[in-house]
Amino acid sequence: MKIAVDCYEVGEYATGVGRVIHNVLTSLVSILSDHEFLVFARERIEKYNQDNVTQFVISSPKGYFRWQNGPFFRRLNRIKPDILVAPNYTLPFFNRWKSILFVHDVSFASHPEWFSKRESMVRKFLVKRSLIKTDAVVTGSEFSKDEMVMHFPVNPEKIKVFIYGIEEKFRRSTPSEIQEWKKRKGLKNNTIIGYLGAIFDRRNIPLLVESVNLLRKERPEAILYVVGENLTTSHPRDMEKVLNREWIRWETHLEESELAHFYSSVDVFAYLSEYEGFGLPPLEALSCGTVSVLLNKTSLKEIYHNMAIVVDEPTVHNIKGALETAIKDRERKKSILDKFQEKKHQFSWEKIAREISLLCRGTAS
């Protein structure tokens, strides 16, 4: 069986889609070691150098749609795979192969106000077409499955919910590593509220800034450490102004080797998202021993039940109170981390890869 995999989003600073398919594929090529994998990406991925993997590097400066429906599609036509694994919401427009499609969320359909009118319409059209044409759909939460069924004419039976996993590298740093990292970053004596992820309108960064600002009246040593690229669609320069304060550190990315140190060193991780299909960063923070403050909404409510401090009504005072609880309440923190340890086995990339290997065999047959 020849399995083609779209790895457009995999790369040095991969987030979201890229991290999901990378972790699935790393296990999948070993589980299906008797089958041939054809991996298409924009750069060579060292970890895929295995006997049953052939890599194709296709560069494209014109965006994903043109890459997928141009050079990628032409290569697939020549190679004629038995199955296509498409992790990035859509299939090639004229897809003619058996396929497994990942749809992580449908925020563009549920909340078109977060997108330009054109972007929302195009995404809805392409995802609808792909959901109808694909043989199986993979998503990370029951919430996302329900959203797909609500907004698109898709058969619920072909949507498979597989809870996403945790990478091995996300583990608690040692006290000396934390001390050294904070010293190197100039944060040795600070209380740190951390955020990591793309900066979208729906993730309430301005509200988080105001909440930390209020917290600083009681804890002047508190700072906000934001890691993420600014992808806000409405007035992106306003976000730059919001984050331009002396007590805020903002970096667009961290090196992979620093991520566990970041999660381990922050006193609380804040992820105030209005809408998530899964939400990997709070899981990574938990694995590094750091409790998150989340909004009690969408998949975050489902995935992190009893494993976070949640805010029902997102006001500055409520969020400030939740941050204070996460910093001060040791018993609450211990209870959350103990609950995570009980459930940790559920978050396994290898488990998902085994499920997808069965989908591959069943779809191709």
Cα Rg for the chain, rounded, in angstroms?
21
Interval 295-299 mean pLDDT: 96
Digit-coded pLDDT (tens) for 134-146: 999 999 999 999 9
Q: What is the C-alpha to C-alpha distance for residues 12 and 162, in angstroms, rounded to an integer?
A: 25
Give the whole-number percent of the chain exceeding pLDDT 70. 99
Crossing angle of helices 256-265 and 175-184, rounded to 10°? 100
Digit-coded pLDDT (tens) for 253-284: 999 999 999 999 999 999 999 999 999 999 99
Contact 41, 123 (CB under 8 A): no
pLDDT at 48 over 80: yes
pLDDT at 62 over 90: no
The average confidence (pLDDT) of the chain is 95
Interval 319-334 mean pLDDT: 97
Phi then psi dihedrals of residue 168, to 5 deg: -60, -30
Digit-coded pLDDT (tens) for 191-227: 999 999 999 999 999 999 999 999 999 999 999 999 9
Q: Is the dihedral of CA 333, 337, 340, 342 positive or negative?
A: negative
Interval 35-46 mean pLDDT: 94
Nearest by Cα to 292 from 274, 270, 317, 324: 270
Nearest by Cα to 75 from 39, 49, 43: 39
Interval 39-60 mean pLDDT: 91
Interval 88-97 mean pLDDT: 97
DSSP state of 199: B
* Ranges of H-type helices in 140-204: 142-151, 175-184
Contact 300, 271 (CB under 8 A): yes
Contact 106, 152 (CB under 8 A): yes
Cβ of 32: how many Cβ atoms within 10 Å?
A: 19
Measure Cα distances from 107 to 150, 298, 299 in Å: 12, 11, 12
pLDDT of the residue at 58: 93
- β-pair partners for 310: 294
Q: What is the C-alpha to C-alpha distance for residues 321 and 67, in angstroms, rounded to an integer?
A: 46
Q: Name the residue with higher pLDDT: 232 or 80.
A: 80
DSSP string, 26-91: HHHHHHTTTSEEEEEESS--GGG--TTEEEEE---TT-HHHHIIIIIHHHHHHH--SEEEE-SS--
For residue 334, count CB atoms less than 10 angstroms from its CB and return exposed for 0-12, middle for 13-18, buried for 19 or more.
Answer: exposed
CA angle 197, 198, 202 (to 5 degrees): 105
Which residue shows structure tokens 């990378």? 22
pLDDT of the residue at 35: 96
Phi then psi dihedrals of residue 159, to 5 deg: -95, 120
Q: Cβ contacts of residue 363 below 8 Å, gap of 6+?
A: 83, 98, 99, 100, 135, 136
Domains and CATH numbers, the chain: 2-165+348-364 (3.40.50.2000), 175-346 (3.40.50.2000)
pLDDT of the residue at 226: 98
Digit-coded pLDDT (tens) for 107-151: 999 999 998 899 999 999 999 999 999 999 999 999 999 999 999
Interval 46-66 mean pLDDT: 89
The type of residue at 244 is N
pLDDT of the residue at 236: 66
pLDDT at 181 over 70: yes
Interval 55-81 mean pLDDT: 93
DSSP state of 349: H
Give the whole-number percent of the chain exceeding pLDDT 90. 90
Interval 231-237 mean pLDDT: 75
